[in-house]
Structure formats: structure tokens, C-alpha cells
Amino acid sequence: MEIERLKLKLKLEYYTQALEHLPKGHPITIVYLNNRSLSYFKIESFKKCIQDCSAVLEIDKFETKAALRRVIFKKIKIDFYFCSFLFFFFF
């Protein structure tokens, strides 16, 4: 499991570096942001994940993958924190 987490963090670094070198509004930006948002999701960094989905929608408001992911990730974030709260409250 730890190796997988390290791979994901490395992917995040690569996506971030690639995004820094792309001109604003470049079409491949959407792909990198979508991939980075999924990587953030896998390491349970929900806030950054949602931010990347929102950034994609600022570029292209009809990007359905980002729109669906943002809704799903927001729901999962709420459920995750609610379950964590219940666990610590009752146990």
C-alpha cells in the first residue's frame, strides 16, 4: 500500500510540474487537471481534488467528467467526514 501511495505522490508532482509549464488555456491542461484530481482523490485529499475539478470547469464548463467527479467527490467528502465524526464520537 505504501508503494502505491508513493507512486501517487510522484504522479501529483509530475502533473503539477507539467501544468506549470503549459500556457494558460492549453487544451491538454484539462487532461492533466482531471488526472491530478483523481490522484488527489486516491490519497484522500478531497479539497484539492475538488479544486482541480473546479479549475477544469472554469476552462470548459461543458466538461462532463470534471462536473460529475466534482459532485461525487463533494458527496464522498461529506460522507467521509461525517463517518469520521460518528466514529470518534461513539468510540
pLDDT, tens digit (0-9, with 9 covering 90-100), for 10-26? 999 999 999 999 998 78
Residue 85's pLDDT band (cuts 50, 70, 90): low
Contact 35, 59 (CB under 8 A): no
Residue 77, pLDDT score: 80
Length of the chain: 91
pTM of the model: 0.82
